[in-house]
């Protein structure tokens, strides 16, 4: 069955292995299936929910587009654009925010995590971030949304909002209720320094993540310094529940090679972490370094990246512009 795919990545710098294994690697597989219509968005309106420096934001938008292309998304097959160029996203977000009850948003755990202890100082934008995400997805009648496990709750909210809009306005199936595409295994890559924290762009320690722009030497060094424990690698999956850092490294190895954790455990069970670390560094650098080299090349070609983004925005505008017009008509504007 052909799928309509929509997903986004924030241009907040430091795109990392978690973004790659949780989302972008999936985007590439979907792009390569000729039956799918894919739209991949650099979600710059989401990025400003926390403070961004002007020049850096501009560079990060180009770098995110470069990362998509360097990872294997073909801009002649998939639409690549940045969100702020298509007005319908913000307009749709306002309309949907008038439909969604506060109680639904109050349950969102990512706001609680990102706002931290000082909720009063977090932006209103950060609070209503999931509604903008719903607008992004629903404007394109997306059937499937590939995301990492951390976005599952936001996607459930998108589904609820679509159903409520359709019911409130008696327009069954007008907003398509999308399905999440979340990899079953290793859909949440954890920090290399703390198996309880997800690998994140905003972690102050660069050693906590593998950036997609890291050199081979940087990758080897970060894996060498990754936190482990003093026991040998277990043979059984159950033993990993108490050993989160070991589970994360074994998960990364399995995910990057597209193999089951069982197979990885058979390979490394009973061995020392130094064996796993040297193999993992090897595999990661062979997969990530070519992407990193290509990102660096593409970033030097700003005209090309700007052209891809502008062409993508024109195509996205046609789809989202039509949907928002219909939405406004349904509302009575």
Q: Is 22 in the site for ligand AQP (CB under 6 A)?
A: yes
Element (DSSP H or E) covering residue 326: helix 302-331
Q: For ligand AQP, which residue has the nearest CB?
A: 22
Contact residue for ligand AQP among 200, 228, 248, 292 (CB under 6 A): 200
Vertex 115: Cα angle to 110 and 120 (nearest 5): 135
Beta bridge partners of 80: 40
Contact residue for ligand AQP among 2, 56, 109, 202 (CB under 6 A): 202
Q: Cβ contacts of residue 66 below 8 Å, gap of 6+?
A: 294, 295, 298, 299, 305
Give the footprint of ligand AQP on residues 123-152 (CB under 6 A).
147-148, 150-151
Contact residue for ligand AQP among 4, 19, 67, 134 (CB under 6 A): 19
Least gap, CB of 156 to ligand AQP (angstroms):
14
Q: Name the one range near ligand AQP by CB under 6 A: 33-41, 181-189, 225-233, 267-275.
A: 181-189
- In the complex with ligand AQP, the residue whose CB is nearer, 18 or 75, is 18
Tokens of 240: 């990993």
Please pick, among 77, 114, 296, 328, the residue that the annotation labels catalytic. 114
Q: Cβ contacts of residue 199 below 8 Å, gap of 6+?
A: 16, 17, 18, 189, 190, 191, 192, 208, 209, 210
Tokens of 183: 């990899």
Strands (E), the chain: 4-9, 37-42, 79-82, 144-146, 179-181
Contact residue for ligand AQP among 189, 246, 291, 298 (CB under 6 A): 189
Active site residue 225: no
Active site residue 114: yes
- In the complex with ligand AQP, the residue whose CB is nearer, 81 or 165, is 81
Q: Is 84 in the site for ligand AQP (CB under 6 A)?
A: no
Of 317, 318, 299, 319, the closest CA to residue 65 belongs to 299
Using CA atoms, how far apart are residues 66 and 62, in angstroms rounded to an integer? Answer: 6
Q: Is 23 in the site for ligand AQP (CB under 6 A)?
A: yes
- In the complex with ligand AQP, the residue whose CB is nearer, 143 or 151, is 151
Please pick, among 4, 25, 85, 198, the residue that the annotation labels catalytic. 198
- In the complex with ligand AQP, the residue whose CB is nearer, 114 or 216, is 114
Using CA atoms, how far apart are residues 31 and 73, in angstroms rounded to an integer? Answer: 6
Side-chain-facing half-sphere of 201: CA atoms under 13 Å: 17
Using CA atoms, how far apart are residues 86 and 41, in angstroms rounded to an integer? Answer: 11
Give the footprint of ligand AQP on residues 282-321 (CB under 6 A).
none
179: left (phi over 0), alpha (psi -120 to 50) or beta: beta
Please pick, among 77, 152, 197, 201, the residue that the annotation labels catalytic. 201
* CB-CB neighbours of 146 under 10 Å: 24
Active site residue 307: no
- In the complex with ligand AQP, the residue whose CB is nearer, 109 or 274, is 109
- In the complex with ligand AQP, the residue whose CB is nearer, 10 or 135, is 10
| Residues carrying an active site annotation | 114, 198, 201
List residues binding ligand AQP (CB under 6 A). Answer: 9-10, 12, 18-19, 22-23, 147-148, 150-151, 187-189, 198-202
């Amino acid at each position: 069955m052909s799928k309509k795919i929509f997903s986004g990545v924030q241009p907040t710098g430091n795109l990392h292995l978690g973004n790659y294994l949780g989302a972008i690697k999936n985007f590439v597989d979907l792009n390569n299936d000729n039956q799918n219509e894919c739209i991949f968005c650099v979600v710059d309106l989401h990025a400003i929910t926390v403070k961004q420096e002007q020049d850096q934001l501009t560079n990060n938008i180009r770098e995110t587009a470069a990362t998509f292309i360097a990872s294997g998304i073909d801009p002649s097959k998939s639409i690549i654009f940045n969100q702020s160029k298509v007005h319908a996203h913000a307009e749709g977000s306002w309309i949907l925010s008038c439909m969604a009850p506060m109680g639904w948003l109050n349950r969102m755990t990512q706001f609680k995590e990102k706002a931290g202890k000082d909720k009063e100082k977090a932006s209103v934008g950060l609070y209503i971030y999931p509604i903008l995400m719903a607008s992004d997805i629903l404007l394109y009648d997306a059937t499937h949304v590939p995301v990492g496990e951390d976005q599952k709750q936001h996607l459930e909210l998108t589904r609820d909002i679509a159903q409520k809009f359709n019911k409130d306005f008696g327009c069954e199936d007008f907003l398509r209720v999308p399905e999440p595409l979340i990899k079953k295994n290793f859909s949440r890559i954890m920090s290399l320094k703390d198996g309880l924290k997800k690998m994140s762009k905003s972690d102050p320690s660069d050693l906590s993540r593998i950036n997609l722009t890291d050199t081979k030497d940087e990758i080897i060094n970060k894996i060498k310094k990754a936190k482990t424990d003093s026991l040998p690698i277990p043979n059984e999956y159950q033993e990993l529940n108490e050993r989160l850092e070991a589970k994360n490294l074994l998960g990364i190895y399995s995910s990057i090679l597209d193999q089951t954790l069982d197979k990885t455990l058979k390979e490394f069970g009973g061995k020392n972490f130094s064996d796993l670390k040297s193999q993992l560094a090897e595999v990661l650098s062979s997969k990530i370094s070519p992407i990193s080299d290509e990102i660096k090349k593409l970033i030097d070609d700003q005209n090309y990246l700007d052209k891809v983004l502008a062409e993508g925005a024109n195509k996205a505008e046609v789809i989202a512009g039509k949907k928002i017009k219909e939405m406004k008509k349904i509302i009575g504007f």
